[in-house]
Structure 1
Amino acid sequence: MDVVTGLIAPLLEICMERLVRWENLPEDSDNATVTFLNEDIDTVPERHAFVGNYRRYCSSVIETIVQKRPHDALPHILSRVDFTLNNLYDGVAPFTVENFTKTSTPLMRADTQFAVVEATLKGYGKWVAAHGKLPQQDEQQRRDLESALESWSLSLMQRNFEDPVIKQRIIKLVVDISSRALDKTPSFALKVLEHILMTHLPDHPEYPTYSESVRELHGLASHELRRLAMRYADYFSTFYDLLEPKIKEIAAANRMDDKLQTELTSVLLIIMQRASNVDPYLRETRLRAFLDPVRQAWQNEEFKNMSSSFGGFCNLLGLDRVGPYMQAKQAQEIEDWSTVPLESEGKQIQEEMTAKFQSLPLRGTKTMLAVSTEKLKKTDPAYELACNLWHDTIPVILPTLLQLVSHAHAFHNPANWANLPEEVRAVVGRILTDRFWQAGISVGSRDEFYARIASSRSTLEGFASSVRGKVRAVRETCYSMLFSMSRLREHFYGFAELPAPLSEALFKDSTHLSSHQFSVLLNISRCLIDDCPVRFRPQFLPPMLATLFTQIDKKVTAEWEVIEQRKAGLVEGDLTEEMKDESILRQLTYSAVIMVASLLDPQRGDPDEPEASDPGAAPPLSDSIRHFVLSSTPILEPVILFCTHALRMRDTRCCSIITRVIRSILQDFAPPLNSPTAVTIREFICSEVLTACITSVHEPYFVDMQKDLAQLIASIWLLYGSSSPTPRSIMLSLPGMTEQRVASTEAALIRSTSARQQRALVLDLLEGLRGVSISEQGKIFGTREDRRKARSAMQERYMTNEMDGQQNTKVNIDDGPDLSGVADMFG
């Protein structure tokens, strides 16, 4: 349409100008947009949500314009971006390390321009994809556009910015351009590789914010190097003899940073393992050379001996000095540890812990394992190479690894601090308490929270953060290694003696972890369980699942009891902390409930088999994880016990899922099946599950759940009532219930033809027992829709949490190698 065509240019200009992170501008800014946002939107979380959506809309508009008219839009956009980058510091002071902030005006200007280019790349990618095999004229246009993009990217890499965050954005952007728009131009990828290798900034530890950004720059650079190496292994292998000495030179120059050294070495391993044009003997020789130091480190007798006991573990990390030091400081008497500066002894212990952790083979092994399997399919030649490479080393690593993760969990158990006086034990518990910032709950903004973390590093609070950071690093690095090993299939799952010690190491002391830490453990456990091949399930899953759900039940039930006691005023506590704890507990409960639903999903079969052609078809019983769980009593008992307790947890979303999960398995134990196991399960459901449902129906909190709970009650009564007197007995035992009413309801249930009718019969029978009727509760709490909206808004608002300097605490194990970032980025 002509009217739209006329609007394209001004619309593009508006979106390029407005793609700003408005939330990073100070609230007292005289910027008109900030004033408008502050006047128009009441709370910080709502403002953030609004400007986030606004930014996405601007990005979408740019993306669409580029997709429709790339030959007009792309050159114009790149020239506009160049103009802004040339004038970043107009009207403001030049860059200095002393005044560096992550929300400076030049940085925000640059961030806007990089976001514009990222949207442009998406639009250009869609244009190319839409054209398929391009006609000759379009093909020439594509070559012209790619040439323009390459020239612009090369000039971008030649710009010399001192700001570490701008350097980060440039590296990420040119790697994106290489892997998306210029993916058929390996020569450009080599120039990007050279640029990343040459990108370096001096560290200035005396300026913590700047120093942290420099470390982030090096971390991001090494991650982007891996991305490039995986994509262009064949091309880079032809330059291997030049790359290897250069990478080793850079690694040697950064010898204080063990993480960076490992990441750089892993790039060489990726190229050697994944390139298809390397002599097999040369490849094997070089790969073995990468792995030999790893193997030798895990065979070190002193390391193995110290890892074999809890005391040795503490000594291994320098943790044995923490208790006496905190006792000497009388830390239990100090209310605010961030007000106490560290003297030389505290700093020395801090440095010793860091040096000892870096001397362990954990980080290097984790990275090497991760890159060996990352983004590989089982059919890839590189995957088979990885299996051969690690086959003999995994059994060398596993025994000590399990001891390390076991001790890292045991450190959270007060029973293991027997050598410390009672008053100091509370101090250790306080040390291990993570600091959180949560949207809508924490006092102050996220930036203020990070500023407090950074400013407290040389205080007693920073010392405590260093201690928990080392324990967390061990714990989560071990998780990552276990995940990477599991991707090697039978080379991990094939050890018949592994499941029992693995489940003990992971779960023995797990209930002493915080809810957030337990969530991370649950995530890695889910991955290990989900990926277990069918042929190894009988030996691997029973000890893992039985122990895991026993501990999940114990942990989640206990935490909900604490929440309820606090609400009843039986336990004193800070309101903000209570809200944080409840928010995180809801996340953990939801993760556990979703895991149950996943295990009992009738569509899930063998993880090694390709997706079925008919998505709705159930897998054969021999492959079904649901069938395996339901036929294994040691697994099923703790799973059903957890489900029963979940019916009483005050989380409507989780409770609703559990009612559907339990209903889905009722038929599997219904008559005429009369095996001892089936009878036992039926009786448990008829008594415990039914009682939990009736109790929840009685409570006003579960008003929105009454129909779900009534349906579950009706289903149990209908399916099991003919073979068990228990449902009828329980109904008769309720206050004011008569034989006639129960018999009448039971008869009506048997005659009923719809679920809706069954629900109504049960709710009518229980009407006198319910605290408030559904209709009355509707009047009190507003309409169901109003309540749902309110709850959804609260969940959205309170489900964001960040911890000790980490921007995102949601751990995605599926990214394998990046799990360690969780450990490293906490304060």
Structure 2
Amino acid sequence: MDSSGTASDVARAIVAALGWSSSSDDRKSAMSYLESVKSGDVRVLASTSFLLVKKDWPSEVRLHAFKLLQHLVRLRWEELSPEERREFAKVSMDLMNEIANSSGEWALKSQTAALIAEIVRREGVSLWQELVPSLVALSNSGPTHAEMVCMMLRWLPEDITVHNEDLEGDRRRLLLRGLTESLPEILPLLYTLLERHFGAAMTEAGRQQLEVAKQHAATVTATLNAINAYAEWAPVPYLSKYGTIHGCGFLLSCPDFRLHACEFFKLVSSRRRPADADSNFDSAMSSILVILMNVSTEFLRVSETNSGIISDSDFEFAECICESLVSFGSTNLQCITGDSEILSLYLQKMVQYFRHYKIELHYQSLVFLLALVRDSLSKPKTVGDGSVDNLAPGSGQADNHKRKILPFVNDEICSIMLDISFQRMLKKEKSNPGNELAVLELWSDDVEGMGDFGQYRAKLLELVRLIASFKPLIAITKVSDRIIMIIKSLLLSPLPSQNLTILESMQLAVENVLGAVFDGQNDENGSASDAQLASCRILEGLLQQLLSLKWSEPELVEVLGHYLEALGPFLKYYPDAVESVIKKLFELLTSLPIAVKDPATSRSRHARLHICTAFIRLAKTADTRLLPHMKGIADMVSYLQKEGQLLRGEHNLFGESFLIIASAAGPQQQQEVMTWLLEPLSSQWTQIEWQNMYLSDPSGLVKLCGETQFMWSLFHTVTFFEKALKRSGVKKGNLNVNNSTPSHPLASHLPWMLPPLLKLLRAMHSLWSPSVTQLLPGEIKSAMIMTDAERTSLLGESTKMPKGTITFTDGLQNTKDGNPEPNETDIRNWLKGIRDSGYNVLGLSTTVGDSFFRCMDIEAVDLALVENIQSMEFRHIRQLVHSILIPLVKNCPSDLWDIWLKRLMYPLLVYSHQALRISWSGLLDEGRAKVPDFNGVLGGSDLKVEVMEEKLLRGLTREISTLLSVLGGPGLNPGLNSEQSSKDSNAVSTSLVGFLLKNKDIAVPMLSLCLDAFRWTDGESTIKVASFCGAVVNLAMLTDNVELRQFVCKDLFSGIIQGLALESNAFTSADLVSLCREIFVNFCKDDPTPRQILLSLPCITPQDLAAFEEALGKTSSLKEQKQLMRSLLLVGTGNQLKALAVQKSVNVITNVVARPRSSISASDSRTEDGGAIGLAVIM
């Protein structure tokens, strides 16, 4: 074949494939031809490509020809004979010299070097050792030749250290060994090239020979890049011995090369100390640290004294130096803990970076100092936490190093860290120009790579908290002095409310300092420690300053309230001040107007709520110290209520604080307080008149929505019930369903609390019934529709609701004539509030021992919850299941299952299965879920509506699946496990799954839902359904129920296999395979169906199945049996089970940290094939 003719054809094809002017057909034809050349005769491919890399051809042709050569070496190398491979390598080396002589463009030089690296990688150590002398000789031929040698030296280790699947483990290790053995030749060569060409560049630049100087400079850069490729793995002592550290350190002073040189130090500084490292390693690392600190000294001197101009390039370089210092301290601090002078200087440098005005430099040192302090203060047996975590191989040595480091974190350093942390609690967007913080580059929303402000502030607060626990008196003094200074500055300001941001920013710092100092760790006799007593004396001054303030503006009152509530931990040790703090809080409350006459005064309403909330927080943090003052607080609350100076919501907050205070006094006092708080509510709540007027039919509820003040009164009653239940010691997830607790403080109150609530919820649910909805007034219809804020939240466009969206008012906005009018926003908030709190009240009530189930009328509960289930929106059903039905299932006594669960589960499961099936069918077949939540909603793009519908559908699917997993959980099915081999009637009789499956009306939709869930593309739901199916399989093993065993062997077995066809089930595939194994192993002896299903798979033969069964019988290992089942399913379906194929394709050979597994994207769900896989004859 004429190789030159072929080369011309290939060149034309390359031009056509890459040319913008080529037509689509020409481009496709050209690509097809190039692919045929790549897959054709390997020798033609080689000869043609070598012709096309010559300088006679255009650059794009030459570059593509290099790609063809690299393809040959990477994928077709073994097709050449050993002699041909040697000749190929020789021609490539000659090519390297030719490219260098012609001063080709950088891309060509780089591709040539990459080709040589590919050849060495494929041929291994022997070729590499032969090439080393040639490479050394070539590097002496001039700057361009030296540059290409450095490029090749760079590509070679990079291809090894960065994992490449083409390179097998053994060959990889051999090549690494060969490179390591060659380091005594490579590193001196790189140092020589660095020294030679840097000097030449400087000399030529001085002579104004700029082009020649550029060539030498390019070689210096290529040399540094090569050095950095070895810096990741070459033994550190070698880097010191052969001058690499010295050479790169010298270049840190040269602006043209310092960033590349700094990259070397960043890479080496992050190298962890090997277990067998000796003093040579420590010495090399210490020299690196000295170099970095010397560079830092000059930069910090100029920066702090303003003695010179610092450019953006200087700051970029300083960031790299700081990052290197952080890496060193995070991984190699133990190398210098024996040298107190260097360690002290190092910590001082990091603190200087911490207080630097540039946010990037400050942030890097913050991350390090936080990890250092956290690790130094950790318990002795703790080795580390992942940051400063390589102090020593053994925990004993680690503790020894910690003891050496801690004394250097002295009072001065702690004071600086506290001062800077306090100053940086404020965002740039909230700071006023001209204040004390103007010199700092504060956190801004524009910064990148540091997370959000909340994450940054959390790091500052953790550092403050750690220092406060370590140096309590310094922290207390610093925070107290700063607050007093800010307050005095505000008192001198003509408009203090406009300069509040600094004081507001310090509130969290105060909370963290006081929380750390007064954390409850007393002396053994229960008294405060000396540090706590001294801290109390310091805080007396701050307390008096706060108490003396006569602020009445809402903004100022709210901030002052925050500071008083932050004193809770302090008041626990200084009870004499409790009364004055309580008095001050009431003074602040009464200084604010109660009536909200216009939006301008809503800030007062907000501030009043915060003052009332302060009592709750004080009750939590001051422990029993408020107990002696509870009667005084109660008397004041009663007085304010009688005077009309306390809103209902505010009264509820005080009631919650009373519950917290009483809980510290014991159950008797808690019971008395509960009765005292609830009795006034019961008189109105239990009146039959309002129930008949407003709750007997939907029109009554419409009328109630016009009685603004009364409807909000009902809302506050329900919310207080919710708070009372939450504060009465109820623990979520209580599964002790047969343990009655009559002493529960709310047990005796449920019979009068819940019936009116059930009527209210039933009336509310009826509004969504089509026959009722069409007759409703417009404002109520609008209030029932999902809000823009809820839709925005569903789209994930905002994590916060718009301000005021879910803020419940007291219904006191009156018109000028005093008659309240219904308002769409009010009605929407009220409906949502009643639903949220009402559902929570019922769910929490199920945890009050047996009282709920023994005292409540199932008829009333049934009507309230599921009478209108078919009219409910998906979001409401999900909430109903989550808040009420799951707790109810968990806590229902087994002797009442027939009364409660049978009644409630049937309508829920029947409708849920029907609705989910329709919506999933729409989503998978038409790409649209069409959930009921968007009926009547106008506006918004179709795409956004589709996304929201799918999210609602998946939300309800997962909640129903969670309910199934609870029904099948071990707590409700004692004795039901796969380990039992014999039938146990007692185990079956105490099983909730067994009870439900005896009722066909419930069993059919429940089991059908399970089968459908395997075909829906939601992996999270599959995981939960699989756990329920495990209980079903176990139950079938322990019973003689023929229908159940047939369902497991036929429908469930085939359904699981179909579920494995979906990629979305990849991360639950192990559970599904395990279920298949259980079914086959335990049922195939008595039922041929599992075998028939396996034989119906498209790629399985009877011999395959027989071999599988034989292998299965030879091992008792569950793990091996599961692997056998997995392999059979993969082979039997021709690798068509995507859930298993995805797992199989995961590369298990890796040298990087494994990434956490994430859920399958919802956007991929519609492309999955949910069809049968040869099971139609069985199904």
TM-score (norm 2): 0.51
Q: Say whether residues 1:721 and 2:1084 are aligned partners.
A: yes
Among 1001, 1013, 1017, the residue aligned to 1:646: 1013
**Alignment-derived partner of residue 371 in structure 1:** 724
How far the C-alpha of 1:469 sits from its partner, in A, is 2.0
Q: 1:248–1:265: 8 Å Cα contact kept in structure 2?
A: no
- Could you tell me how far apart the structure 2 residues matched to 1:88 and 1:554 are? 64
Q: Say whether residues 1:491 and 2:851 are aligned partners.
A: yes
**Alignment-derived partner of residue 199 in structure 1:** 588
Q: 2:1065–2:1139: 8 Å Cα contact kept in structure 1?
A: no
**Alignment-derived partner of residue 576 in structure 1:** 944
**Alignment-derived partner of residue 763 in structure 1:** 1130
**Alignment-derived partner of residue 691 in structure 2:** 304
- Could you tell me how far apart the structure 1 residues matched to 2:443 and 2:618 are? 43
Label 1:56 to 1:741 Cα distance change in 2 as closer, same or farther (>3 A).
same
Label 1:647 to 1:142 Cα distance change in 2 as closer, same or farther (>3 A).
same
**Alignment-derived partner of residue 409 in structure 2:** 4
- Could you tell me how far apart the structure 1 residues matched to 2:443 and 2:467 are? 30
**Alignment-derived partner of residue 117 in structure 1:** 510
How far the C-alpha of 1:429 sits from its partner, in A, is 8.6
- Could you tell me how far apart the structure 2 residues matched to 1:237 and 1:35 are? 43
Q: 2:612–2:653: 8 Å Cα contact kept in structure 1?
A: yes
Q: Say whether residues 1:314 and 2:701 are aligned partners.
A: yes
**Alignment-derived partner of residue 1040 in structure 2:** 675
- Could you tell me how far apart the structure 1 residues matched to 2:893 and 2:930 are? 48
**Alignment-derived partner of residue 757 in structure 2:** 401
How far the C-alpha of 1:407 sits from its partner, in A, is 1.9
Label 1:786 to 1:38 Cα distance change in 2 as closer, same or farther (>3 A).
farther
Deviation readout 1:678-719 (Å, 9 max, x if unpaired): x33332233333333233322344455545433433332232
Q: 1:600–1:625: 8 Å Cα contact kept in structure 2?
A: no
- Could you tell me how far apart the structure 2 residues matched to 1:624 and 1:192 are? 60
- Could you tell me how far apart the structure 2 residues matched to 1:141 and 1:621 are? 64
How far the C-alpha of 1:119 sits from its partner, in A, is 1.6
How far the C-alpha of 1:759 sits from its partner, in A, is 1.3
Q: Say whether residues 1:17 and 2:423 are aligned partners.
A: yes
How far the C-alpha of 1:149 sits from its partner, in A, is 3.0
> What is the one-letter code of the residue matched to 2:838?
C
How far the C-alpha of 1:238 sits from its partner, in A, is 5.6
Q: How does 1:63-142 map to 2 (within 5 A)?
A: 63-87=465-489, 94-95=496-497, 106-126=499-519, 129=521, 132-133=523-524, 139-142=529-532
**Range with greater deviation from structure 2 (159-168 or 566-575):** 566-575
Among 168, 186, 190, the residue aligned to 2:579: 190
- Could you tell me how far apart the structure 2 residues matched to 1:64 and 1:199 are? 33
Q: 1:67–1:123: 8 Å Cα contact kept in structure 2?
A: yes
Q: 1:175–1:224: 8 Å Cα contact kept in structure 2?
A: yes
Which consecutive residues of structure 1, in runs of 5 or more, have no partner in the other structure? 42-46, 97-105, 319-351, 607-619, 796-827
**Range with greater deviation from structure 2 (435-444 or 407-416):** 435-444
SS in 2 for 1:435: helix
Label 1:750 to 1:305 Cα distance change in 2 as closer, same or farther (>3 A).
farther
SS in 1 for 2:1134: coil
How far the C-alpha of 1:124 sits from its partner, in A, is 1.3
Greater CA radius of gyration, 1 or 2? 2
SS in 2 for 1:19: coil
Identity of paired residues, percent? 18
Q: 1:412–1:432: 8 Å Cα contact kept in structure 2?
A: no
How far the C-alpha of 1:764 sits from its partner, in A, is 1.5
SS in 2 for 1:40: coil
Among 837, 841, 866, the residue aligned to 1:477: 837
- Could you tell me how far apart the structure 1 residues matched to 2:1073 and 2:631 are? 71
Q: How does 1:199-238 map to 2 (within 5 A)?
A: 199-200=588-589, 201-202=592-593, 208=599, 211-226=601-616, 228=618
Q: Say whether residues 1:54 and 2:408 are aligned partners.
A: no
SS in 1 for 2:497: coil
**Alignment-derived partner of residue 431 in structure 1:** 785
Deviation readout 1:780-817 (Å, 9 max, x if unpaired): 9x99x99975846989xxxxxxxxxxxxxxxxxxxxxx
**Alignment-derived partner of residue 627 in structure 1:** 991
Q: 2:1019–2:1160: 8 Å Cα contact kept in structure 1?
A: no
- Could you tell me how far apart the structure 2 residues matched to 1:437 and 1:94 are? 39
- Could you tell me how far apart the structure 2 residues matched to 1:593 and 1:630 are? 18
> What is the one-letter code of the residue matched to 1:182?
L
Q: 2:968–2:1027: 8 Å Cα contact kept in structure 1?
A: no
Deviation readout 1:312-335 (Å, 9 max, x if unpaired): 4423423xxxxxxxxxxxxxxxxx
> What is the one-letter code of the residue matched to 1:404?
L
> What is the one-letter code of the residue matched to 1:73?
A
Deviation readout 1:375-419 (Å, 9 max, x if unpaired): 4479xxxx97864x763x533443332121122122223243254
- Could you tell me how far apart the structure 1 residues matched to 2:1050 and 2:952 are? 31
**Alignment-derived partner of residue 879 in structure 2:** 520
Label 1:398 to 1:242 Cα distance change in 2 as closer, same or farther (>3 A).
closer
Deviation readout 1:526-546 (Å, 9 max, x if unpaired): 333334456655644443455
TM-score (norm 1): 0.70
Between the two structures, name the one with larger relative contact order (CA 8 Å, sep ≥ 6).
1
Q: How does 1:274-313 map to 2 (within 5 A)?
A: 291-313=678-700
SS in 2 for 1:436: helix
Which consecutive residues of structure 2, in runs of 5 or more, have no partner in the other structure? 1-404, 433-437, 732-740, 808-812, 815-821, 932-939, 975-983, 1163-1179
- Could you tell me how far apart the structure 1 residues matched to 2:526 and 2:839 are? 50
Q: 1:233–1:274: 8 Å Cα contact kept in structure 2?
A: yes
**Alignment-derived partner of residue 688 in structure 1:** 1051
- Could you tell me how far apart the structure 2 residues matched to 1:692 and 1:310 are? 45
> What is the one-letter code of the residue matched to 2:413?
L
Label 1:276 to 1:653 Cα distance change in 2 as closer, same or farther (>3 A).
closer
- Could you tell me how far apart the structure 1 residues matched to 2:696 and 2:511 are? 51
Label 1:499 to 1:712 Cα distance change in 2 as closer, same or farther (>3 A).
same
RMSD of aligned residue pairs (Cα, Å): 5.0
- Could you tell me how far apart the structure 2 residues matched to 1:440 and 1:120 are? 38
- Could you tell me how far apart the structure 2 residues matched to 1:622 and 1:740 are? 42
**Alignment-derived partner of residue 612 in structure 1:** none
How far the C-alpha of 1:357 sits from its partner, in A, is 0.5
Deviation readout 1:5-25 (Å, 9 max, x if unpaired): 253232222322223467978
Q: 2:780–2:824: 8 Å Cα contact kept in structure 1?
A: no
How far the C-alpha of 1:502 sits from its partner, in A, is 1.6
**Alignment-derived partner of residue 143 in structure 1:** 533
- Could you tell me how far apart the structure 1 residues matched to 2:869 and 2:431 are? 42
- Could you tell me how far apart the structure 2 residues matched to 1:22 and 1:664 are? 57
> What is the one-letter code of the residue matched to 1:417?
T
Q: 1:542–1:632: 8 Å Cα contact kept in structure 2?
A: yes
Q: 1:621–1:627: 8 Å Cα contact kept in structure 2?
A: no
Q: 1:23–1:51: 8 Å Cα contact kept in structure 2?
A: no
SS in 2 for 1:687: helix
- Could you tell me how far apart the structure 2 residues matched to 1:527 and 1:498 are? 17
Q: 1:62–1:123: 8 Å Cα contact kept in structure 2?
A: no
Q: 1:648–1:696: 8 Å Cα contact kept in structure 2?
A: yes
How far the C-alpha of 1:55 sits from its partner, in A, is 1.9
Label 1:396 to 1:707 Cα distance change in 2 as closer, same or farther (>3 A).
closer
How far the C-alpha of 1:62 sits from its partner, in A, is 0.9
Among 675, 691, 709, the residue aligned to 2:1072: 709
- Could you tell me how far apart the structure 2 residues matched to 1:273 and 1:134 are? 24
**Alignment-derived partner of residue 332 in structure 1:** none
